[in-house]
Amino acid sequence: MDAYRVLLLAPTRPDREATLELLRHAGISSRTCESVQDVVGQLERAVGAIVMTDAAFADPQMGQLFAALSQQLPWSDVPIILLCRPGDPAPSTQQVLDALRNVTLLERPTTSRTLLSSVQAALRARARQYQLRDQFEALRDADRRKDLFLATLAHELRNPLAPIRTAALILAAPTLESSQLQWAQQVIQRQVSHMA
């Protein structure tokens, strides 16, 4: 399913092929991206997670990725699995880490088991985000239906209240004929019956 596909931005062809095979074997849909620009383009569609290495930080389009990630809908926070060289991150790497919100950091080289476990955890987190999105949409729909119900109810109550108000004004008149009294009573009874 596209909503759970993993975008892979790996620096070398053997890394890409090995990771794609690992994910395919685990039943995880994935797609190779040739550049950061390609990742940004893919973010316009549903994405489960992004797997990338710190080698991507050299790409001059990295700012576009940050911009695309910052423009996600409020419920969305695409998980990123970042494979970095061991040791303290370089200042440029630290800046990227500070700019991203939902990052799992793995040192390279990592085991297939660790990478697969991290991807599966990221996809579970993404599934939870999709559930929250669906719940928000259900709440918004319920709120719209409530507003429509209240508007209909207000309209249905206003219609019979106008004749009742007229009948009440007639009943308040200082001189009232028997035919007027009978008419006012009938109007009130009929409208209250409609309201009930």
**pLDDT given for residue 147 in this prediction:** 92
- Which residues, other chains included, contact 190 with Cβ-Cβ below 8 Å and sequence gap of 6+? 163
Half-sphere exposure of 176 (CA within 13 A, CB side): 15
Residue 156 has pLDDT above 70, yes or no: yes
Question: What are the pLDDT digits (tens) for 22-54?
Answer: 999 999 999 999 888 999 999 888 899 999 988
Q: Among 180, 28, 34, 54, which residue's Cα sits nearest to residue 119?
A: 28
For 135-146, what is the mean pLDDT?
A: 92
pTM equals 0.74
Between 13-22, 155-164, 180-189, the lowest mean confidence (pLDDT) is in: 155-164
| CATH code for residues 2-140 | 3.40.50.2300
Question: What are the pLDDT digits (tens) for 87-102?
Answer: 877 777 777 778 788 9
Question: What span, in angstroms and rounded, lies between the C-alpha atoms of 40 and 49?
Answer: 13
Supply the mean pLDDT for the chain.
87
Domain positions in the chain: 2-140, 145-195
More confident: 47 or 63: 47
Residue 1 has pLDDT above 70, yes or no: no
For 129-154, what is the mean pLDDT?
A: 91
Q: Are 72 and 45 in contact (CB under 8 A)?
A: no
**pLDDT given for residue 57 in this prediction:** 80
For 99-124, what is the mean pLDDT?
A: 91
**pLDDT given for residue 182 in this prediction:** 84
Could you tell me what percent of the chain has a pLDDT over 90?
38
User: What does residue 177 show for φ and ψ, rounded to 5 degrees?
Assistant: -80, 160
Confidence of residue 172 (pLDDT cuts 50, 70, 90): confident
